[in-house]
Amino acid sequence: MLYAQVVLPLAQPPYTFSLDEGLAVRVGDAVVVQFGSSRYYTGIVWSISDERPTFAHLKPILRRLYSKPLITATMQRLWEWMADYYICSLGEVMRVALPSLAKPSATSLEELEERSIAPPTERYLRLDSSLQTEKALAEYHAKHSRRAPRRCDTLDKIGAVAIARGALDSWVPRRLIDAESEHIAALEKQGLISCEHRPTEPIRTTQDLLLPTLSEAQGRALELIHAAHNDNRVALLHGVTGSGKTEIYIHLIAETLAAGRDVMMLVPEIVITSQLIERLERIFEGRTTTYHSRLTALRRGETFLRLSTSTGGELIVGVRSTIFLPTHNLGLIIVDEEHDANYKQSDMSPRYNARDTAVYMAHSNNANVVLGSATPSLESYMNALTGKYAYIALSERWGEGVLPEIVVSDTIRAVKRGERKAHFNLELLRFITRSLECGDQAILFQNRRGYSPYVQCRTCGFSPRCPRCNVTLTKHKASARMECHYCGYSEAVTTVCPNCETQDMSLMGFGTEKVVEEISRLYPQARVERLDGDTSTSESAFKRIVSRFEAHETDILVGTQIITKGFDFKGVSTVGILNADNLLSLPDFRASERAFQLMMQVAGRAGRHNNRGRVVIQTSQPKHPIIRYVATADYRAMALAELEERRAFGYPPYSRLVRLLLRHTEYELLRRAAHYTAELLRAKFSDGVMGPVASALEMLRGEYRAEILIKVDRGNSMSRARQHIRSVIADVAKVKDIKAVRIDVDVDAQ
């Protein structure tokens, strides 16, 4: 008799089931088991042994799903690494790693159906039979080239590729024809070409693809990336906005596919990358798979199952959970906008960072990694400084593009001089007026998260910080005090500024809705729209707003950080950052870094096409170092200064942060458990332990929440730290009256 350890999608260790002789089951297989009295689950066979476990009653594995194992050995290693590193169970990894369709559960066996998946296809084109001789084509050309030059041009292109493939009547892959999709569709409708779908063929050389020609600087960067990869190093591509990082990615993707290997390209958010995805799908037709949470459950499930039987040469583009998709010959992982906080799953277990996971995964698969950003994270930059990563800079925009001019506009001075209307300095309004007069567009950025209620002096711009943790204090309604979210330090709210002693301290914050209202009043003729979490609840709503702005049916776009990323709007010549102060005042040790990244990204939206753009930053702290670094676009100076600050306060990358999240419905029980846990942790980590404090979200879904933060110095072993944390959690679980408290762990907490 054999016994199988099966991972189930539950926060539990694997369970043992018996394996009947007749059932051919391998490690990695998805199997159906009964768990509880009337529930059937899909589990993954983790290991098989012939040793009978000691407990008496074993349930059998009922059935195997799918003809091939669902989980490869490499994925098994990944799940194990993740459970170990992020301190969670394999079942919790399984919950996020497998789409629901691939791990069906049901109340009866009959409901559990397998699916058959169609292979991917790509389009082929062929000239209509009336055009399949050189003579006919030439005649058509002579007759129509004056009136329809583009049409003739495309037909000639198809003809040229067809001849290269044998004869004018050959079928030609669509990917080799450089023409817009609507144009191809029109030719088909006119009966000049026919179109058919065929199973995707492997790419054998990069000649099989139509790739952009790289500029000299881009070509050099590509060579440096090759060199880094030959050296088995991660390549950090630091390219300013508009430098054409995408073009470099496209070349790397093509080379990897041509070698028969798979590529994963991670993006922070799918909706904002629709332009990128269209581009990739056009070049890598039939080989591009997108993956994100807005796809239907069916699509996601089918994608997973299809990839689990693929033989390589796939390009998978998607958000963080893409790293869980099966690949068989992974050659390259690209993490675009690698600094983006979205790569970290913070709201549920496993609280993994997809960028860091990508680096681990590439290493264990012998694959290459490119981390790309205009404003790299300090973690990655430090790895570049120490030589662990290869650092590749692209410091100029592609083609004629120049970086925008940055104007720092002092709000306090503007108020004093009466040069302010509503929330706008006249300086900004003048630029907006000029842009609108030239028929250009403007973007106004206001960070919604700036609503986190902080207190600021309206005379000098000062806002109080925690003396121990160097983060802004947040005003709490309940206690009417200003509190530190890290260590719990608090002080009374004052009306007198501790810095300039004026009685002018007040609560700050205004939102995008207000901005739209005010700007519409100032420019009644302008067409104004808002892009934020409220107006883009669905993908279609989001796309409508974006495409109206692209088509220049909108003049001014007001938005939150959603507008900062990736967009390539052609007509924008003025960008306004309405209140940089609330970026600088986020209660977060990364506030400065994030503020710099956000402002640089917003600035990157201006003047992307030849006309030099302007960015106006409104702030009460024009001398703030971060504002100065943005104004001079000096990433390096920002990074070095900020790293120094991190070193002084022992923050990442000089330490690792682990956050423990405790929750329970009873306040008193939670409080006792949190203090007890902190006490046990202090015995192991001494003064590296901060808290417990009430969470920013004190109560969520009927549960009270508390947090404890642990700083583990770089010099100390992280695996030992993890052991300590595991043993503390186990110890708490043994104490009778507090063991009901639920403890989640967030390793490398943001």
The residue ranges that bind ligand ADP (CB under 6 A) are 212-215, 218, 239, 241-247, 398, 568
Pick what 559 binds: ligand ADP, Zn ion, none; C-beta below 5 to 8 Å, kind-dependent. Answer: none
Pick what 247 binds: ligand ADP, Zn ion, none; C-beta below 5 to 8 Å, kind-dependent. Answer: ligand ADP
**Residue 178: CB minimum distance to ligand ADP, A:** 12
The gap between the terminal CA atoms of the chain, to the nearest Å, is 48
Give the whole-angstrom CA distance, residue 352 versus residue 87. 10
Q: Which residue is nearest to ligand ADP (CB)?
A: 244
Nearer to Zn ion, 345 or 750 (CB): 750
DSSP codes, 208-234: GS--PPPPHHHHHHHHHHHHHHHTT--
Bridge partners, residue 711, by sequence: 657
Nearer to ligand ADP, 107 or 213 (CB): 213
**Residue 595: CB minimum distance to ligand ADP, A:** 20
Give Rg (Cα) of the chain.
29
Pairing of strands 15-19, 2-7: antiparallel
Q: Between residue 455 and residue 474, which ones bind Zn ion under the rule CB under 5 A? A: 466, 468-469
**Residue 102: CB minimum distance to ligand ADP, A:** 33
486 binds Zn ion (CB under 5 A): yes
**Residue 716: CB minimum distance to ligand ADP, A:** 38
Nearer to ligand ADP, 110 or 400 (CB): 400
**Residue 393: CB minimum distance to ligand ADP, A:** 12
In this structure, are residues 722 and 87 in contact, taking their beta carbons and an 8 Å threshold?
yes
Pick what 79 binds: Zn ion, ligand ADP, none; C-beta below 5 to 8 Å, kind-dependent. Answer: none
Identify which of 710, 709, 726, 706 has the alpha carbon closest to the alpha carbon of residue 663.
706
Nearer to ligand ADP, 16 or 215 (CB): 215
Give the whole-angstrom CA distance, residue 568 versus residue 570. 6
**Residue 374: CB minimum distance to ligand ADP, A:** 7
**Residue 341, Cβ neighbours under 10 Å: how many?**
15
647-669 b/e (C-beta count within 10 Å ≥ 16 → b): eeebbbbbbbbbbbbbbbeeeeb
Pick what 245 binds: Zn ion, ligand ADP, none; C-beta below 5 to 8 Å, kind-dependent. Answer: ligand ADP
Taking the CA atoms of 315, 319, 320 and 325 in sequence, report the sign of the dihedral they define.
Answer: negative
Give the whole-angstrom CA distance, residue 433 versus residue 628. 26
Question: DSSP state, 403?
Answer: P
Pick what 489 binds: Zn ion, ligand ADP, none; C-beta below 5 to 8 Å, kind-dependent. Answer: Zn ion
Q: Using H for helix, E for strand and C for coil, what is the string for 94-161? A: HHHHCCHHHCCCECCHHHCCCCCCCCCEEEEEEECHHHCCHHHHHHHHHHHCCCCHHHHHHHHHHHHH
Window contacting Zn ion (CB under 5 A); options: 246-254, 271-279, 483-491, 544-552: 483-491
591 binds Zn ion (CB under 5 A): no
Nearer to ligand ADP, 421 or 609 (CB): 609
**Residue 739, Cβ neighbours under 10 Å: how many?**
12
Pick what 246 binds: Zn ion, ligand ADP, none; C-beta below 5 to 8 Å, kind-dependent. Answer: ligand ADP
Give the whole-angstrom CA distance, residue 475 versus residue 433. 37
Nearer to Zn ion, 324 or 651 (CB): 651
**Residue 711: CB minimum distance to Zn ion, A:** 12
Pick what 466 binds: Zn ion, ligand ADP, none; C-beta below 5 to 8 Å, kind-dependent. Answer: Zn ion
Pairing of strands 481-483, 490-492: antiparallel
Pick what 241 binds: ligand ADP, Zn ion, none; C-beta below 5 to 8 Å, kind-dependent. Answer: ligand ADP
Pick what 218 binds: Zn ion, ligand ADP, none; C-beta below 5 to 8 Å, kind-dependent. Answer: ligand ADP
**Residue 376: CB minimum distance to ligand ADP, A:** 13
**Residue 534: CB minimum distance to ligand ADP, A:** 27
Nearer to Zn ion, 317 or 484 (CB): 484
516 binds Zn ion (CB under 5 A): no
Nearer to Zn ion, 398 or 489 (CB): 489
Bridge partners, residue 482, by sequence: 475, 491
Among 487, 562, 606, 693, which residue interacts with Zn ion (rule: CB under 5 A)? 487
**Residue 209: CB minimum distance to Zn ion, A:** 53
Residue 522's alpha-carbon distances to 117, 515, 518, in angstroms, are 56, 11, 6
Nearer to ligand ADP, 211 or 259 (CB): 211
689 binds Zn ion (CB under 5 A): no
Residue 254 parent element (H or E): helix 245-258
For Zn ion, what does the binding mask look like between residues 533 and 562, x meaning CB under 5 A?
------------------------------
Pairing of strands 368-373, 30-34: unpaired
Pairing of strands 572-577, 441-445: parallel
- Contact residues toward Zn ion (CB under 5 A) are 466, 468-469, 484, 486-487, 489
